[in-house]
Amino acid sequence: MIKTNLILLINLILVLCLTSQAQELNKINQYMFNRQYINPGAVGTGISALNVGILSRFQWVDVEGSPKTYAAWGDLRTAKQRMAVGANFEHFRFSITKNTEFSLSYSYLLPISRKFKLGMGLRGGMVSNVTSTDNLSRVWDANDPFANALNNNSNFLKIGTGFQLYSSDLYIGLASSDLFVSGEGVLANDKNKSFANRSRNYVGYAGGRVKLNETYRLLPSFIIYSNPLYNTRVDATVQLEITDYFWTGVTYISNKQLAFMAGAFVSSRVRLAYAYQFGYDKASPTILSSHEINLRFALDNLFKK
């Protein structure tokens, strides 16, 4: 009983934090394979001209009302290799809050040398945010004004941009998903702030590929998440890949967590991966572990013989 009450209390406190502060960007373990999902400047920069990715993330799996993220993205590069378009869908659910976002991206791929190109992207979309205390009927009195004050239903426009410098063996990216947000949206504490003073999410990342021999490759990478209202988080990853067959890796996360990942090339077009994140600090409850499943498809020339 004590454990159940403690979990409910933690859940409620976090919900109150989310509804009273700027929205924090969802963080994923397998960022290196989903750069198009994070950064509009990465749209069209994959090896394949047409790609689709599906991502499911389940955090704190033993906690009722724990965060769950379902996302899908796709991008298509034009035949002349200079432009690309993409689409993103994301549904995030945490306790009494549901956030659904759909956006479209456009990127221009500028050659700057024989090896390197610069992707410059713009993304715009709509976000629907619903907060309802209906699921708290076992805890709250239906007429409790404090509980009713949490209810919210809003839709708003969000515009972001990003850049990625890349070659066949190296990539460096920088993006912000919410440079502009119309109205108040879920940014409740920003309602009296000017455009220049609103808090925003920023992401910077880099990665590369080192060929060890004909069979093995080393894939180091890192990502930095930054928001003025939250602690900056850094994920550093090292992966070992058996070319076109299997890969495994480990990620160190700056908030005293680790993630182990593994994936397989199901076919030449399909890649499946899994990540498990947990806290290694003794003070971190084991119930706060996370699972992430990622499925990616390369679909160009699918119907050509």
Place of tokens 């499943």: 293
The CATH number for 267's domain is: 2.40.160.40
Q: What is the mean pLDDT of the chain?
A: 84
Q: Which residues contact 305 (CB under 8 A, 6 or more apart)?
A: none
Angle value at C-alpha 85, between 83 and 88, nearest 5 degrees: 150
Over range 242-265, report the average pLDDT: 94
pLDDT at 21: 39
- Please check whether residue 172 lies inside any domain of the structure: yes
- Please check whether residue 39 lies inside any domain of the structure: yes
CA distances from 9 to 57, 99, 279 (A): 23, 22, 20
- 39 is written with which tokens? 């950064």
- Please check whether residue 304 lies inside any domain of the structure: no
Dihedral pair phi/psi, residue 134, rounded to 5°: -55, -35
Q: Which pTM was predicted?
A: 0.83
Domain that holds residue 220: 2-298
Regarding predicted confidence, which is higher, 22 or 70?
A: 70
- Please check whether residue 255 lies inside any domain of the structure: yes
- Please check whether residue 143 lies inside any domain of the structure: yes
- Please check whether residue 183 lies inside any domain of the structure: yes
What's the number of domains the chain is made of? 1
DSSP string, 101-170: EEEEEEEEEEE-SSS-EEEEEEEEEEEEEEE-GGGGTTTS-TT-HHHHTT-EEEEEEEEEEEEEEE-SSE
pLDDT at 259 over 60: yes
Question: Which is nearest to 131 in space by CA: 18, 10, 6?
Answer: 18
pLDDT at 268: 86
Q: How confident is the model at residue 96 (pLDDT cuts 50, 70, 90)?
A: confident
- Please check whether residue 305 lies inside any domain of the structure: no
Place of tokens 């990003």: 162
Over the stretch 179-206, which tens digit does the pLDDT of each residue have? 998 865 444 444 545 555 677 899 999 9
Over the stretch 216-235, which tens digit does the pLDDT of each residue have? 999 999 999 998 888 899 99
- Please check whether residue 303 lies inside any domain of the structure: no
pLDDT at 6 over 90: no
Over range 58-63, report the average pLDDT: 82
- 215 is written with which tokens? 């069979």
